[in-house]
Structure 1
């Protein structure tokens, strides 16, 4: 049975892969989102392959940035993820087998699950070779530049072909079938779970796991999972920040001290920039109340977005400039507004109760 330290190490390896993958998928998602939005406004489908041979230079360019540049960059996310999971385990020698394994996960259709499996396999196998192949200092470059990268890469290719690829495809197809079977109600429930999970620890392990799941579902199964994740990430920050700005107006007294008000302004701004970590100080101060409030409000927001059919390609950011790139920007804004208001009302109520309990004098 895996002990706690090994589980934490495994989690850290996966977080490393995600941290290197995010800078790939965000610009790729924005590029594709812009192309899709231009197409929608102009009355054509940016994914139509005929655009690449179109005599209309504008449509041809929009098709090219969407289908070639944007989609091509997005296809790098699995190789980068797998490579840096492997790198986290075994350092630079793990990069080559990780990259090829992630590439094969993409082209074979095993998706994010395949990239996870191959990244871990590549990293641990390279580590095994490094630990068990002993050369003298003179011949060590042969080991580091030939034996380890070549043998690990060959084995990753073989394992991908016979095991990871086929099993990954079966799992992806099963997930897709399940999502199709549960239908519209299930999609709303799925969106609520993902959004609520994103708000649980505001950038922590649960948040990152939900983000990874949303990427896999959105990319591999076409489930509407990315937008709920983005909504769940920002609702706590926007809602708490709003509470610190409105306490004197709503309650006729300030229930937050000057430091919390300063933190709240930053939290509010960061929320609109798509950054949830600004809400962490408020969650830490009152976790038994704020964490459930954040989760419930974000789950409601995610469910509203799914109910209104608000979706977007993977990588479209949670920031305010990402909202127009969705299929229904109004649904996105409404979902964030409703969830943020719930957090704001809950936080004001809690702040007022704590102020009375602790006999805090209102600040002027």
Structure 2
């Protein structure tokens, strides 16, 4: 059997390549031929050719983002979330061989198909997020570098220049989010109204919620216009370059600015003001909740919600200010892979298979880099013990970060940001919070795994 596949996750970093590797391993065990195209943060790699697609018996798409399926017309095709390939690669390949034959329809019909499959709204959101994250990371790290060169107030021409570049990149994140959510829904015609709606959200201080709503509004506006606007063939070329852009910007932009933008802005500002007012036990509780969210599904939908909650807290910071919310989110996200590395390479090596011990070595680097997905290989093999254990440690780390009033000015970078002067406040306490959370989860997962081994030995 010959199978071709595509894997893609919202960040295009870890899940994309882990899913590809798992599919390749499952195919090797079954004696199938497989080629996997990865659509990661650096673009498509190992791209499928027309001949390879034609020769394939089935197509597997494991993606959290929207993937163009037109080239697979007439092939058996199964489309699932990227986590399905990580957790159940073998059964996924089997199911693909009896999957329905995919037939290319109109854009509206294809969108109806996606919504009925349950992937529609979530995949559109994740597509927008996947394009937005590089702007957030690049902007945040440029701002951190400005602190390194010019102090906490980014003084000096060089520091100010770098700080301005970082601010420009960060300022584009909401238009990019809105634009690519709309792009996922309506293809290229959605980009213009989606980015305009995202820019309106940014200007009105409507934040993540506003940009997200604007993207969906723009995308579905395009679908409605394409369905009802019928022009003579002689004028059909005007539709994508003139009529759709103008009408969609007027409709989606107008609704965003004059109807839904104001209440969304009020909600966003209310949430941020409430968060900034949290002190004492309330801030500790928030740290616990955000910490648990970051670990419970290892950068899945729940973790992404917590992460963008943190990112939103960065958008209105002044020069030299840091966010305690983002600090709690980042330190919590670092705990799971570090805890599994600690358990599998130091505390309980005998409890893990050779492959897991090797994964543990990589998990040290992934954890320090704030890539929570480094714990996924361990969670896939033993989900209850691993997820339960890392959630406890992450929650404690988030709460400690809040108690110790740690703050951070950037949305990514992990431990390496700690080395940049001014990027982290109370950096020593922040390292303590990370170490305590990692130790708690590392010892806890080792203990529960050891208890499980002893129980099996008694049986």
TM-score (norm 2): 0.69
Deviation by residue 1:297-355 (Cα, 9 ceiling, x = unmatched): 1011011112222212242422x212233122222221211111111101211221222
Query: Secondary structure of 1:183's match?
Result: coil
Are 2:134 and 1:23 aligned?
yes
1:223, distance to aligned residue in structure 2 (A): 5.4
Are 2:453 and 1:355 aligned?
yes
Aligned to 1:63: 160
Q: Could you tell me how far apart the structure 1 residues matched to 2:434 and 2:234 are?
A: 61
Q: Could you tell me how far apart the structure 1 residues matched to 2:276 and 2:312 are?
A: 15
Are 2:193 and 1:97 aligned?
yes
Contact 2:206 2:269 in 1 (8 A): no
Aligned to 1:322: 417
Aligned to 1:243: 343
Q: Could you tell me how far apart the structure 2 residues matched to 1:45 and 1:93 are?
A: 41
Greater helix fraction, Structure 1 or Structure 2: 1
Deviation by residue 1:39-85 (Cα, 9 ceiling, x = unmatched): 33xxx622xxxx5xxxxxxx12212221x211111100000111011
Q: Could you tell me how far apart the structure 1 residues matched to 2:376 and 2:352 are?
A: 16
Structure 1 pair 158/269, CA: closer, same or farther in 2 (3 Å)?
same
Aligned to 1:232: 332
Q: Structure 1: which 5+ runs fail to align? A: 52-58
1:32, distance to aligned residue in structure 2 (A): 0.6
Deviation by residue 1:236-295 (Cα, 9 ceiling, x = unmatched): 1000011111135xxxx7121212211221222221222111211211222222222211
Count of aligned pairs: 338
Aligned to 2:390: 294
Deviation by residue 1:142-174 (Cα, 9 ceiling, x = unmatched): 111111111001112211221232112211221
Are 2:240 and 1:144 aligned?
yes
Are 2:150 and 1:39 aligned?
yes
Contact 1:84 1:95 in 2 (8 A): yes
Deviation by residue 1:167-203 (Cα, 9 ceiling, x = unmatched): 1221122113322443343223222211211111112
Are 2:404 and 1:308 aligned?
yes
Structure with the bigger RCO (C-alpha within 8 Å, sep 6+) is 1
Q: Which moved more, 1:351-360 or 1:91-100?
A: 351-360
Query: Secondary structure of 1:218's match?
Result: coil
Structure 1 pair 314/138, CA: closer, same or farther in 2 (3 Å)?
farther
Structure 1 pair 329/182, CA: closer, same or farther in 2 (3 Å)?
closer
Q: Could you tell me how far apart the structure 1 residues matched to 2:341 and 2:353 are?
A: 13
Q: Could you tell me how far apart the structure 1 residues matched to 2:383 and 2:347 are?
A: 20
Structure 1 pair 271/247, CA: closer, same or farther in 2 (3 Å)?
same
Deviation by residue 1:113-154 (Cα, 9 ceiling, x = unmatched): 111110110011111111222235443221111111110011
**C-alpha RMSD over aligned residues:** 2.3
Are 2:122 and 1:11 aligned?
yes
Q: How does 1:255-274 map to 2 (within 5 A)?
A: 255-274=351-370
1:225, distance to aligned residue in structure 2 (A): 1.7
Q: Structure 2: which 5+ runs fail to align? A: 1-113
Aligned to 2:45: none
Structure 1 pair 321/99, CA: closer, same or farther in 2 (3 Å)?
same
